[in-house]
Amino acid sequence: MPTAILVHGGAGAIFPDDRAHACARGCLEAARAGHRILAAGGTAIDAAVAACVALEDDPSFNAGTGSTLNADGEVEMDACLMDGASLRAGAVAALSGVRNPILVARLVMERSSHVLLAGDGAARFARAHGVAPWPSALLVTERALERWRKEREGGSCAAAEPWQPTPGTVGAVALDARGHVAAATSTGGILCKLPGRVGDSPIPGAGTYADDGAGAVSATGHGEAILRVVLAKHVTDRLAAGMTAQAAAESGVRELARVGGEGGVIVVDRHGGLGMATNAPRMSRAWIDASGSEGCAFEA
């Protein structure tokens, strides 16, 4: 079987150009991290997680280090991992005090009977399974703090204000040599969100989905809109019906537009075909395809 990996670093108004280039380069390094695992015979799960960890550790993105701040000026992160072989999934929501939420999501999948843990319960589960505490202050970058201060001073950190998608959610989809697929997604969520808000990223079928019979999908963008159209499952169903990865991704974006949502998706099908589509101004992504060719881009 061929192997392939595709990662994204969020969709939206990724400006100026130097930031967009940095995001594309960060995506490529993450794709390479995942591909090294695939090339050595590793699993799609391991590859997707490794890519996601690399993106969470890169302060260019809105996930892990660099996450946006909620209305109270705190970090609350969401993440999900799904295994296409078993349809198992693990997710965390509104999680603080860890460096890599995708690793806690994996623990939920592999060491619990649950799919989703949130807030303090997710943090307690992480500690019980050996995840070291990580001060939230170490996740806050100067850029994220400056943006939060600007929004608060402008009066936008209020429940009455309409939330706009915050670029930088990260995700990875992978196919391994055994024919298994996996998807991983991680985010800090929307800037100035209400405390406790949960977006699409940790919800299987909305922001993340994987099924060996079809492929794997990771979404990014306006979480409320993505939730309403169950975007990742929509795209996966199109793969199962015979669409190419690219056609399925484009179908997903059209569905998202039905509810006025802005965002995008990345897709790998069960044969190693890759697809990407967005209706946002830019979407950072990188890939290494079944032939071993790699690339990165940020323009829509």
Q: What is the set of active-site residues?
A: 169
Pull the structure tokens for residue 33.
């991290």
- Return the half-sphere exposure (C-beta side, CA atoms, 13 A cut-off) of residue 115: 11
| CA gap 122, 259 in Å, rounded | 31
Which among 10, 47, 36 has a CA at the least distance from the CA of 181? 47
Q: Which amino acid is at 276?
A: M
Residue 126 backbone class (left: φ over 0; alpha: ψ -120 to 50; beta: rest): alpha
- Return the half-sphere exposure (C-beta side, CA atoms, 13 A cut-off) of residue 173: 34
- 238's enclosing H/E stretch is helix 231-240
